[in-house]
Amino acid sequence: MTDFPKELLTGYGLYKERIYRQFEEEYQNLAIYGQEPEVMVISCCDSRVTPEGIFHAQPGELFVVRNVANLVPPFIQGGGTHGTSAALEYAVTGLKVKHLVVLGHCKCGGVQAFRESNGKLSKTGQFVGPWIKMLEPAAITLACTPVDKHEDPQLALEYAGIRQSLKNLMTFPFIEKLVTQGNLDIHGAWFDIGSGSLRVMNKETEIFEDAQDLRARLKEQETED
């Protein structure tokens, strides 16, 4: 008798019968020829946020790395055991992806833990504390910014954390070089779990705009062209 979770075995059975059967040829081609994703997504570990589902992506279309609070650490000379940095290096220099997307979300537990720690991050855990400490620059920036009394502090830090991660991406020499050359693009996005809405960061204003509005504008441009 196995102690492997029954719900996972049941789920695998459904996957094999429905999804794999539908895309069997695609899976076989991926196994033979490898992956060539054009987009890498840095997402949160939160089980409610699934990049493949949000972007309706098929196997092989997205290269995804997930961590607590969808954070990108700044570049450190000499490397080390940094999972997110290793994934970035492989995606950019190995897979030659064209886009890097930092995907945040509402009610982020990592962001909430940082806010509730009141500077005592050691209480959040041996590993979690040092990790979410990367939100400090974002929090400092917010503290120096005129306060919008109507903006939720949790949401404000979720946005700020995404902006900080985008800045940290540019500290990696191999990313900065390709972005400067126009061969790589970086993006920020935020997902609302309850409503299913997506907001994309405007690079000029750093304001998060509704993705549905952006889609409508894109369709108008395509019609005009």
What's the whole-number mean pLDDT along residues 3-26?
A: 96
Annotated domain spans of the chain: 1-34, 36-224
- Annotated catalytic residue within 21, 48, 215, 217: 48
- Of 51-65, 68-82, 136-150, 167-181, the poorest mean pLDDT is in 136-150
- Annotated catalytic residue within 46, 106, 163, 199: 46
Number of H helices, E strands in the chain: 11, 6
The answer to whether the beta carbons of residues 84 and 42 sit under 8 Å apart is: yes
Does residue 43 carry a pLDDT above 80? Answer: yes
Q: State residue 151's pLDDT score.
A: 81
144 counts as catalytic: no
Amino acid symbol at 107: K
Cβ-count burial 86-109 (b if 16+ within 10 Å, e if not)? ebbbebbeeeebeebbbbbbbebe
- Whole-structure pTM value: 0.94
What's the whole-number mean pLDDT along residues 55-77?
A: 97
Q: State residue 123's pLDDT score.
A: 82
Q: How far apart are alpha carbons 106 and 152 in whole angstroms?
A: 11
User: What average pLDDT is seen over the chain?
Assistant: 95
| Longest distance between any two alpha carbons in the chain, whole Å | 63
CA dihedral (212, 213, 219, 220) in degrees, to 10, reads 160
What's the whole-number mean pLDDT along residues 149-153?
A: 81
66 counts as catalytic: no
105 counts as catalytic: yes
Q: How far apart are alpha carbons 9 and 7 in whole angstroms?
A: 5
Element holding 44 (H helix, E strand): strand 39-44
217 counts as catalytic: no
Element holding 139 (H helix, E strand): helix 136-143
Query: Given pLDDT bands bounded at 50, 70 and 90, which one contains residue 219?
Result: confident
**Phi, psi of 37, rounded to the nearest 5 degrees:** -70, 145
Choose between 101 and 80: higher pLDDT: 101
Query: Given pLDDT bands bounded at 50, 70 and 90, which one contains residue 147?
Result: low
Does residue 212 carry a pLDDT above 70? Answer: yes
- Rounded CA Rg of the chain: 19
- Annotated catalytic residue within 66, 106, 108, 163: 108
Q: State residue 218's pLDDT score.
A: 86
**With left for phi above 0 and alpha for psi between -120 and 50, is residue 4 left, alpha or beta?**
beta
Amino acid symbol at 190: W
Q: State residue 194's pLDDT score.
A: 98
Q: State residue 148's pLDDT score.
A: 72
Does residue 149 carry a pLDDT above 70? Answer: no
Q: What is the CATH number of domain 36-224?
A: 3.40.1050.10
Q: State residue 129's pLDDT score.
A: 94
Q: How far apart are alpha carbons 122 and 181 in whole angstroms?
A: 41
